[in-house]
Structure 1
Amino acid sequence: MNKKLAVIIIDDDDNYRETLSDILSFNDWDIDTASDGYKAINMVRQKQYDVALLDVNMPGIDGVETFKELKKIRPDMIVFMMTANNIDPLKNLLEKGVSTIMQKPFNVEEVVKMISGVRKKAVVLIVDDSEADRSTLSEILSAKGFDVLAASQGLEALETLKTKDVDVVLLDVRLPDMDGVTVLERMKKIKPTLSIIAITGYSLDGIIDTMSKKGVYTCLLKPFDIELLINEINTLVDRKVAESERETDDLLPEILLVEDNDSIRQTMAAILEEQNYNVKAAASLDEALALVDKEYFNLVISDLSLGDASGLSLVEPVRKKDASTIFLLVTGAGSMETALEAIKKDVDEYILKPVEPGELVHKVKTYLEKQKMKKEKEKLVNQLEASNTKLLELVKIDELTTLFNRRYLFEQLHAEMQRAKRQHKSLALMMCDVDGFKIFNDKNGHIEGDRLLKEIAFMLKASVRQFVDQVFRYGGDEFSIVVPEIDLDSAMRLAERVVSKVVDGLKGKGVGISIGVAVYSEREQDMSLNELIHAADKKLYESKRAGGKRATG
């Protein structure tokens, strides 16, 4: 099972950011966006992202500094840098952990390929001395989308576990070099939270209790139900992902305490640290500004009077870095004027000295809880919006190929015909059919047939203009391409290139593609949508009748 890939796009260009997000969303990835480095760093602190697409030139904190901060928080996150300028001055970043540097505008298909290449899969380690069982399980699990490692002995498995990030272990109870219980105990010493499923070809009597007490999730008797095994593995993977997200949620709140009186500062810090908060203390405005520049805080507590400086001078830089940070102002000389100024500066609370420990703890706890609830609400809203977007996509996306589906073809073709009519432009519709698909499918099976259709879908998308031409799966092994603002001669040249690309790309597989081309223009303004489809279908039939692997228009 593939873990859903979490991708964050960081770019101050709204159009570029949103367009890239829309395109990548079609790959069933978890996509978030940030308009500047500060927001991105805060988001990465709260959520585990696998990949970041990071623009270099941004206001505030630039991409290079943002990259450094992101790597401090998530060292294993993969970062692709983007720039509209010369990439040569940035090449030193490749030695510091940047995966690649892309010059705008770039080929989005290539970006999709790169991200797909780093897609995280759940890793399953099979430990079994039977070569036949290892081979069979490896083949089945690989086909289900898992990364599979295998070991024939206990010691080999333990060495693998020390160097590989394994999600689930399938552990045979009887191994040639040591028994399964011993291997289990040693595995748990290496990785105490490791999920292990015990497997055996012998009786389960006496095994289940022993293995369960040692930390095994479940025991399965060979030959076991493969679907049951897959479900058990998926359950363990989902549990690990959920635990990882909870660990992120459970990060201790970060508090900045700014107070120039040493005694008060130390006392307040001790009170807060007793409540399990991470406290950073500053004795001056300059110290506080330096900390705000480098780090992120959930809450700031500052004295109003900091020598010759005012604690209110901190509010703007704190808010600029993270608008959700809570700001509590403390003062020993309260007045209506001071309170009004604090309100104008967007201070959350105005507290008079001497601050009672109980009051301090209560206010900090209350505000942090409100902050957490607000972030959880925002997270739920984002999840709901993502779900709604996904539902809308499912209505128009073909599940197998991720192309647009037949229903959406009718919508888009109607819209493009209306646009062509208004603007006095022409429009081409290509109906495509895979030559020899039935023979290939019968010979190689449905899995390989599906794989072939996905490969052809990718070739078709790569053959036409991004963001202009649209490719659809019409049904079965039939595809459609809508090409705006093109005449018949140009459409035929494009269709012939598509045929050539597909035929060359599928050499040795005994398949090709036939295309029929019909054009809607000012001369055919009375042509209906169905008539246009019928015209393209008729030309497709001519291509098929002539032997296939050609375009007719």
Structure 2
Amino acid sequence: MNTDIVKILLIEDEIADADWLDEILVEQDHPTVEIEHVKRLKEAVVSLSQNNFDAILLDLSLPDSKGLEGIAKIKEKAPNTAIIVLTYLNDQNIAIEALRQGVQDYLIKGKITRELLIRSILYAIERQKAEVKVRQDALMKEMLDRIRQSLDLKEILDSTVVEIRRFLATDRVLFYRCEANSTGEIIAESIKPKEEQDLSTQSMMNSIDFFELHSLLAQSDNIQAIEDVIAAPHEDVYFLAEHQIRSVLTLAIWRSSIVTESLDASNYLYNEIEENFLPANLVSTDNYRENTEINRSCSSKITDSEITNSEKQNSTRLWGMLVAHNFQTPRKWQDWEFDFLEKLTIQITIAIQQSELYRKLQDVNQQLEKLAILDGLTGVANRRYFDRILHNEWQRLAREQKPLSLILCDIDYFKLYNDTYGHPAGDRCLQAVAKVLKTSTKRPADLVARYGGEEFAIILPDTNTQGALFVANEIRRNLAQLKLVHKKSAISQHITLSIGITTQIPLPKASPHHLIAQTDNLLYQAKRQGRDCIAINDPNQTT
């Protein structure tokens, strides 16, 4: 508020009372008082839409409003402006109710002096400012609490737009996410409830295609405020009126610091994983590099190469916009609203950054979990994960008394293959065999694992001997179709497998170790029988 000028809206239909009030207020030297006089509540609503006032003097007996009903309408239109009631109704109950509804003072006509009125106005303005400050602080605290308590950005934004719309008493508030490909998305919005709208406002909202506003929003500076689109001097905002937007405020939310810090943090973690946890042969594979690059990309598909050093130093990349607008009436946006929203968007930026980093950490954690259970060379499960799943399935099937089948297979004459073609070729052979095993097991519950060296294991839950034998034969057929050359093999010109199969119905107090030992014996039995064959146990045997 300009302390040298106090702007007052006087809502008074009695000319004599209005003239008297105007006379005693205009004579005030400091501060200077400027008065706008209207005779009806409807005129007051229009004036409040077009102008800012420091205080409102409201008569409770108007041609279009009687009693306390006018207070609610004025508070809805100007929730942050001090209201002083001037009335002949000397009723304590009405006075108390008026104060409960948010007026700052209740003065009785005929008992008002010039000094009392001036003091009441100035005190009311200061009390209202204090109340607004308390509400701002409370809203800011709520925002900070949400950021501390939640990592869900959507949840934070959804609740924030509701509070901002109520606080600003505007028709609509939204967060608009600007994308790099010149499209955008409304990710959170709050619209004036239907019961508070008139029919024309509802039809206006239904006609808006907000996505067409992207080009204007993406070019905005930090704050753009248009009091009246129809009266705006810039032709490029006229189309807002076509979308039934009469008054609009946009506030930019910048994201370069969010992106770069998120990228730096997540890429650091990925590098640490690669250097300290991953086998070099996995990091060098095309499949790993492709998946890692996907995980390293930002939510807006902005990569490291697109962010220059200068952009990291100068926060110039637009993340999105906070938008508030009215449908029907102009609005004179106030400086304190700008200040408050700028402070609020700082907290929004923190929430966005926190959410981005949390998402990146989730990606890294998922990658670590995947690395903890996969064999680095072949991409199938490792021995540790095999042991865990076998134990879990053993316990489950012991409760259900259903069969569990285990297949162990070994590449025939693999040492000769390595000696003949070299270890890189041997690695590629192991990868090809692992892929055959994966494609030959169809069910999600089936698990293929590298058991050690050139040996692989397959867990087949709820599978009888015939089912396990079918899978084993499928593996042999699919491997034969690959025709992986092995000229030093004593039994074939191509890679072959020796396979052992055991099927048991687990008992609760037994251990799966006997299942492994029996299957391993059968594997070596297949080798003794000449390799490239299947050895299978007695299907009726249980442990």
TM over 0.5, shorter chain = no
- Give the number of the structure with larger relative contact order, counting CA–CA contacts within 8 Å between residues 6 or more apart: 2
TM-score, structure 2 as length reference? 0.40
TM-score, structure 1 as length reference? 0.39
